[in-house]
């Protein structure tokens, strides 16, 4: 199972490198089902793994000028604050069990929703949302007929209230379930900040790296025992995956792979919901 898990780590990195998101949505299921990591701890591990992997992946985009720093700051600050507060205060405040329902024949609760199962179910619902965003056809970018490069050169137009709100929401999601949120960030950058797709992917990786790593710092004050050796090995393998994905992205259009990956994520999300409820 561990070998399969490490193969999954490579695939996670590959997805981040090829399509700029989606791969991080696999990290928690890999940790929980293949490495038997507790779901709450897995969300913390995921923040570190996704953050480090995205940071490495953003380096090549930095060299190519695909990171719009102003957008990264405007979107990233509320996201970073939100994820840090969520990991430091919201997650520890979630009761365990979250609630019980009914009464069994032996006097115990008929249904118990534990904190771990609750987070996994929330994560699965996020996976289904991510799958939908990857499966649906992408809108084509509008490029000037007079000067095709004008879309790349124009400065982004900021809708500050929406960008700040979106950043805070993405930070909350990241803090709760440990997913980087690329499937939420990239559409937001394209639609709200008017960034071209290449710049949106590069900027998204930088935002994911910053908020995930800072969110992980919020767990350092908790009671969880971190297995640093395991984290180092898993992260190193994921980094190999994102470097390979970045190399392949120059040869394989990510948009062609995104729908297929979306269907895979949809199946995984549905499986988690059925497994944890039934």
> Would the pLDDT of 30 be above 70?
yes
- Provide the Cα torsion 176, 181, 183, 184; round to 10°: 80
What digits encode the pLDDT tens for the residues 106-163?
Answer: 666 667 888 889 988 998 898 888 888 778 876 654 444 444 444 444 455 667 788 8
The answer to whether 24 and 100 are in contact (CB under 8 A) is no
Q: Which two tokens stand for residue 188?
A: 């937001």
Domain boundaries, position 233: 2-138+146-277
Residues 214-229 pLDDT 10s: 888 877 766 678 899 9
pLDDT digits (tens, 9 = 90+) for 194-207: 888 778 888 888 99
62-79 tens-digit pLDDT: 888 889 898 899 889 999
* 89-109: average pLDDT: 78
- Residue 165, both tokens: 């709100």
CA dist list (Å): 39 to 94, 145, 150, 257: 13, 51, 46, 29
Per cent of the chain over pLDDT 70 is: 85
Number of domains in the chain: 1
Query: Quick check: helix, strand or coil at residue 278?
Result: coil
Both tokens of 88, joined, read: 């430091």
In the chain the beta strands, taken as DSSP E runs, fall at 99-101, 111-113
Closest residue by Cα to residue 169 from 157, 156, 183 = 183
Calpha distance 219→47 (Å, rounded)? 10
Q: Pairing mode, if any, of strands 111-113 and 99-101?
A: antiparallel
Which residue in the block uniquely carries the two structure tokens 């990956």? 261
What is the per-residue pLDDT for 152?
Answer: 45
Phi, psi (5° rounding) for residue 138?
-80, 145
Write the CA distances from 32 to 26, 41, 79, 119, 235, integer angstroms: 10, 9, 25, 12, 16
Query: What are the structure tokens assigned to 196, written together?
Result: 């071209």
The pLDDT value recorded for residue 150 is 42
First to last CA, the chain: 23
Predicted confidence band of residue 31 (pLDDT cuts 50, 70, 90): very high
pLDDT score of 48 more than 70: yes
- Confidence label for 181 from pLDDT (cuts 50, 70 and 90): confident
């Amino acid at each position: 199972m561990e070998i399969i898990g490490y193969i999954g780590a490579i695939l996670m990195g590959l997805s981040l490198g090829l399509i700029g998101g989606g791969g991080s949505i696999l990290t928690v299921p890999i940790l929980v089902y293949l490495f038997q990591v507790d779901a709450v701890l897995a969300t913390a591990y995921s923040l570190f793994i996704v953050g480090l992997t995205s940071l490495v992946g953003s380096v090549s985009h930095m060299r190519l000028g695909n990171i719009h720093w102003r957008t990264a700051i405007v979107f990233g600050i509320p996201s970073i604050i939100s994820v840090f507060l969520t990991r430091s205060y919201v997650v520890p405040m979630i009761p365990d069990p979250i609630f019980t329902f009914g009464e069994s024949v032996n006097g115990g609760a008929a249904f118990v929703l534990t904190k771990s199962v609750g987070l996994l179910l929330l994560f699965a619902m996020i996976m289904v949302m991510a799958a939908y965003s990857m499966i649906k056809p992408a809108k084509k970018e509008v490029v000037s007929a007079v000067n095709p490069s004008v879309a790349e050169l124009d400065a982004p137009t900021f809708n500050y209230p929406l960008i700040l709100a979106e950043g805070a929401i993405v930070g909350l999601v990241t803090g709760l379930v440990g997913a980087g949120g690329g499937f939420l960030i990239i559409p937001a950058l394209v639609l709200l900040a008017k960034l071209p797709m290449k710049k949106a992917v590069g900027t998204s990786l930088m935002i994911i790296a910053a908020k995930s790593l800072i969110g992980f710092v919020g767990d350092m004050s908790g009671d969880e025992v971190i297995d640093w050796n395991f984290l180092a090995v898993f992260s190193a393998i994921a980094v190999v995956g994102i470097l390979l994905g970045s190399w392949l992205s120059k040869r394989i259009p990510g948009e062609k792979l995104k729908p297929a990956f979306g269907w895979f994520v949809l199946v995984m999300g549905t499986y988690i919901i059925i497994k944890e409820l039934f």
